[in-house]
Amino acid sequence: MLIMSIESTCDETAVAITENGRRVLTDQIFSQADLHAVYGGVVPEIASRSHVEVISQLAQRAIDIAGIQKSDLDAVAVSYAPGLIGAVLVGVNFAKSVALALGIPLIPVHHIKGHIAANYIAFPELEPPFLCMAISGGNTLLSDVRSYTEMKIIGATRDDAAGECFDKTARVLGLPYPGGKHVDKLSQAGDDRKYDLPRSHVEGNPYDMSFSGLKTAVVNLVHNAEQKGEELDRESLCASFTRAVSDSLLPRTMQLARELGYRKIAVAGGVAANSRIRADFAVAAEKEGFELFIPPLSLCGDNAAMIGCQGYYEFLAGHTAGSDLNAFANMEIDQ
Ligand code: KG4
């Protein structure tokens, strides 16, 4: 089954062609990062307009590179929630037009389910059930992946997403947007014990997380140092910060895997590209004999192949949409 898939929830426009879910014929990604860098973050209006400008050309290029005809397509899948609403609408409307023009099914895909599905592309042997920590720019979720399409959120951030926290840390240190990868790079030369930063404990649910206290602590530390004219050890601040994020993610994931009796743990989303977080999960999984799945860096950030992969499983489960499909800024993964 050949699926064209569309991703436009934030600042990447992407169109992929996948076969039977896991085989990627092409994944065309246009990153708008340069357009937003000057503002230090994503400007929603600019994001929407840029998606409108490039999406048709990307789709044509995907068809050409995959070496197929439009008439070969069996369905079109689209990331329809959550995301910047104007941006998501561009992809949803484009996918509806493709479905209408070619007379093929339209498959709505939850963006975070797509991130989790990136693991199916990277690891052909992976099948649910497993536990997944999904960490991206807008979401931080610990999910019980019960089947390809049914997931249950067991824990989530109560405030900022881990990626937002990386981006804010980068911004306050004057690093370019998007900042996560720059914080990652600097932290590799730092002492992760130099700065004492808070770890959150959230009342009520041991698997919920909070990153706003950590974010505020970093901002205060930088501002205080500036006011006193003190030089900060930026590498060590990045390393101490990243260790604090990892300390919020890893123990909860391990504890829940033990509690649920799962042997398979996956990590997904843009922040899964972080070298320290990858290494910490690898060491802990090896120690306890868990099987660990983290996509290669190319599949951690937003892409359309992951939407095509999840779209395939949604289609098999009978989850298609009519021409009245809408886009949603917010939607729980288990809604
Ligand atoms: O999954 P993603 O591409 O977009 C969303 O769906 O949100 O995630 C983007 C986030 C950004 O916050 C970015 O700074 C962060 O992932 N990120 C990283 C790294 N690479 C990207 N954070 C930490 N370390 C990295 N190496």
The pLDDT tens digits for 1-52 are 999 999 999 999 999 999 999 999 999 999 999 999 999 899 999 999 999 9
Q: Whole-prediction pTM value?
A: 0.97
* Residue-averaged pLDDT of the chain: 97
Res. 200: pLDDT tops 90: no
For residue 334, what pLDDT band results from cuts at 50, 70 and 90?
confident
Over residues 156-177, mean pLDDT: 95
Asked if 310 contacts 299 with a C-beta cutoff of 8 angstroms, the reply is no
Going by the DSSP 8-state scheme, the letter that residue 263 receives in this structure is -
**170 Cα nearest atom in ligand 1:** 14
Indicate the SS3 state at residue 277: helix
In the predicted model, what is the mean pLDDT of residues 154-176?
A: 96
Percentage of the chain beyond pLDDT 70 is 100
pLDDT at position 105, please? 98
User: Can you tell me the mean pLDDT for 191-205?
Assistant: 94
Q: Is 7 in the pocket of ligand 1 (CB under 6 A)?
A: no
Note the pLDDT of residue 251. 97
Pocket flag, ligand 1, residue 184 (CB < 6 Å) = yes
Instruction: For residues 208-230, give the mean pLDDT.
Output: 97
Q: If phi over 0 gives left and psi between -120 and 50 gives alpha, with beta otherwise, what is residue 261?
A: left
Q: Which long-range contacts (CB under 8 A, 24 or more apart) does 212-221 make?
A: 212/159, 212/160, 212/165, 214/165, 214/241, 214/244, 214/245, 214/248, 215/160, 215/164, 215/165, 215/168, 215/169, 218/168, 218/169, 218/172, 219/168, 219/172, 221/195, 221/197
Local confidence band at 184 (pLDDT 50, 70, 90 cut-offs): very high
Residues 6+ apart with CB under 8 A from 324: none
Determine the distance separating the centroid of ligand 1 and the alpha carbon of 147, expressed in angstroms.
26
Cα 155 from Cα 330, distance rounded (Å): 17
Residue 225 has pLDDT above 90, yes or no: yes
119 CB within 6 A, ligand 1: no
Please classify residue 319 by burial: count the beta carbons closer than 10 Å to its beta carbon, then call 0-12 exposed, 13-18 middle and 19+ buried: middle
Residue 209 has a pLDDT of 97
Please report which confidence band the pLDDT of residue 81 belongs to, taking 50, 70 and 90 as the band edges: very high
**Beta-bridge partners for 196:** none
Query: What is the reported pLDDT for 335?
Result: 79
Mean predicted confidence (pLDDT) in 81-87? 98
Query: Is the CB of 269 within 6 Å of ligand 1?
Result: yes
